[in-house]
Structure 1
Amino acid sequence: MRRPVEPKQYTSKKYADTLRRHGIRQSVGRTGICYDNSLAESFFATLKNERTHRTQYPTREHARRDIIRYIEFWYNPRRRHSALGYRSPHQARNDYLKRRQAA
């Protein structure tokens, strides 16, 4: 009988359970494989360079609202990404949903 795979040291069962409860698929590659994180790191670098490093926030709530506004009104609908075939995240999602619906 095979034992279940233990979570990687940088994850936890509680974290994995939270993701599962919210319907989020956890992406954890083999040790030394950087591709799982590269898109997330690229996003956060862009967020910092284009938004948060240029803005002083008086409160955490102000920062939260501004970052949400940036993601929802600029990043997702307009910003093109080479990893998405030079489409915006919004366009890539719509294309995915259309293909899924056609199948």
Structure 2
Amino acid sequence: MSRHGNYQDNAVTESFISALKKEQIKRRIYPDREAARSDVFDHIEIFYNLIR
């Protein structure tokens, strides 16, 4: 699945990152990297894993 030209191996990851950007981090300005990391972690652990 990881050969050149085989686009299907990244489809799940790309879909997840796209949803994360749309739902959580779009139009937000974080004061530092740790705040951004914490917000993304909370979104994945609390919202994404329980709701989806």
Aligned residues between the structures: 52
Higher relative contact order (CA 8 A, sep 6+): 2
Aligned-pair Cα RMSD in Å: 1.2
Q: Which amino acid in 1 is paired with 2:27?
A: R
Between structures 1 and 2, the one with greater helix share: 2
TM (normalized to structure 1)?
0.47
Large movers: runs of 4+ above 4 Å: none
Q: Distance in 1 between matches of 2:49 and 2:7?
A: 23
State the alpha-carbon separation in 1 of the partners of residues 14 and 36 from structure 2: 19
Question: What TM-score do the two structures reach when normalised by structure 2?
Answer: 0.87
Identity value in percent: 44
Asked which structure has the greater CA Rg, the reply is 1
TM superposition shift of 1:46: 0.6
